[in-house]
Amino acid sequence: MEDTELLSEWAARAGMLLHASDTRVVHGWAGMEIGYEVRRDGTGYLVVKTDRGNASTRGRFDSLSDADAYVLMCLGSIWRADHGLGDIFPAGAAEGFRPKHDASGWSVEVAGRRAVFTYESDAGRYTHVAGKGLGNVAALMQA
């Protein structure tokens, strides 16, 4: 299944529809209150969350596949919460990972690719799906 289709399936589970707000958007989904977009940004990709009309950049990724994995984690977490399944991620970073703080934010490196987050909690959660591939992240969220 193509990545956008898989992400659209999970967005639909979370009550969101496919949309794009401008030409920089690779793909994005929105519901009545929350939306996520993956946008092109120079040599990388931004994940932007819109919450009740207020947009905020959640992370910057070297690769589209890493940005997509983060978005799927966010969509899957909404779906899990809506179905009373609870959070599958323990507090903090996954074993073997430690987000590093610098002037650009909280960074995580996997296989030579970097992701930088505004919040340490987002960086920590990302370490649980970093480098796993979209199909594996979907299976993890489904469990």
3-state secondary structure 81-133: HHCCCCCCCCCCCCCCCCCEEECCEEEEEECCEEEEECCHHHHHHHCCCCCCC
pLDDT value, residue 74? 94
Q: What are phi and psi of 113, to 5 degrees?
A: -105, 140
Give the mean model confidence (pLDDT) for residues 68-94. 90
pLDDT value, residue 134? 92
Instruction: Identify the helix (H) or strand (E) that includes residue 17.
Output: strand 17-19
Give the mean model confidence (pLDDT) for residues 50-72. 94
> What does the mean pLDDT of the chain come to?
91
Res. 1: pLDDT tops 70:
no
Tens-digit pLDDT profile for residues 108-128: 998 889 999 999 999 999 999
Give the mean model confidence (pLDDT) for residues 53-66. 94
pLDDT value, residue 114? 95
20 pLDDT tier (thresholds 50, 70, 90): low
Measured CA to CA, the distance from residue 137 to residue 105 in angstroms comes to 24
Cα–Cα distances in angstroms (integers) from residue 108 to residues 8, 55, 95, 104, 137, in the given order: 26, 23, 13, 12, 17
